[in-house]
Amino acid sequence: MGRMPKPIETHVPNRAELVDHLVRTRISGQVATPRENNLSHYRKLANGDRHYWLGLELGDRWTDEQDVLAVMAERVGVVDDATHRFGQDTIDPELTVAGLDRMAARLRKAALDRQSVLLATGHPGGLLDVHRATAAALRAAGCEIVVIPAGLVADEGSVWQFADVAVLERGATLWHTHSPEPMAAILDGLAASGRPQPDLVVADHGWAGCAAQRGLDAVGYADCNDPALFLGEAEGTLQVAVPLDDHVRDPRFYDPMVAYLLSAAGLL
């Protein structure tokens, strides 16, 4: 029998190298997401628009957009100046790496305990391969990668797995979605078939928010215009939210980041 392929083939950067790479590729640093888009999303979340809650139940705890901005400045590194209304915004690369370190610690625990892990993405154009490589490394370490039930539907689409990652599909196309409904369909489907809930969910957008709201261990990635997951982390509902631009020009730009994450988790 042939040797199993390595989960990822790339140089593992040290922290300084990764910070430099994140800034050069605009995963962090001066990101493409404009300031006005960020503030618009913070305002809509504070005004109770559930599309921006990403599956979390925020109640009336975040009704002031200035409070949302303060958390985003602290946990993401956006400009902490309410009068900065237009133009460039930022993600602090040091906070991205710190988030990766926190996520790595949780992945290490999953591997040591041979836990069951569900991976999912609402951003397949950017993060599908990030999650795929993580799934491959966890499986190689002895984790069970949860296989979702067949025939699931949500938001007028189908919920499938590609390369061990759950996604929403419509008309032979993988969809970008912030909705929590696809994750709800998976978790409800597991329960209906008498199967246990995953020990850990690694995801983004509403997939991560829904899992965390249901009390599961959940870690995920989020952009600077998606504040809900960072509020969830601040409140302790979500275990880890890693700040980054979740759809940069070339998905291969994430490879060094994934190599750093998996190495820090002891999975390479």
Percentage of residues in the chain with pLDDT exceeding 70? 96
* Cα 184 versus chain centre, distance: 16
Give residue-wise pLDDT tens across range 205-258.
999 999 999 999 999 999 999 999 999 999 999 999 999 999 999 999 999 999
Whether the per-residue pLDDT at 169 is higher than 70: the answer is: yes
Whether the per-residue pLDDT at 7 is higher than 70: the answer is: no
Write the CATH number of the domain with boundaries 93-265: 3.40.50
Q: Say how many C-beta atoms besides its own lie within 10 A of residue 196's C-beta.
A: 9
* pLDDT value, residue 5: 44
Specify the length of the chain in residues: 268
Where does residue 24 rank: exposed (0-12), middle (13-18), buried (19+ CB within 10 A)?
exposed
Structure tokens at 85: 């209304």
Residue (of 215, 200, 266, 209) closest to 241 by Cα position: 209
Whether the per-residue pLDDT at 8 is higher than 60: the answer is: no
More confidently predicted of 76 and 8:
76
* pLDDT value, residue 9: 52
* pLDDT value, residue 257: 98
Domain coordinates in residue numbering, the chain:
93-265
Cα(55)–Cα(228) distance, integer angstroms: 9
Give residue-wise pLDDT tens across range 44-93.
999 999 999 999 999 999 999 999 999 999 999 999 999 999 999 999 99
The 8-class DSSP code of residue 267 comes to -
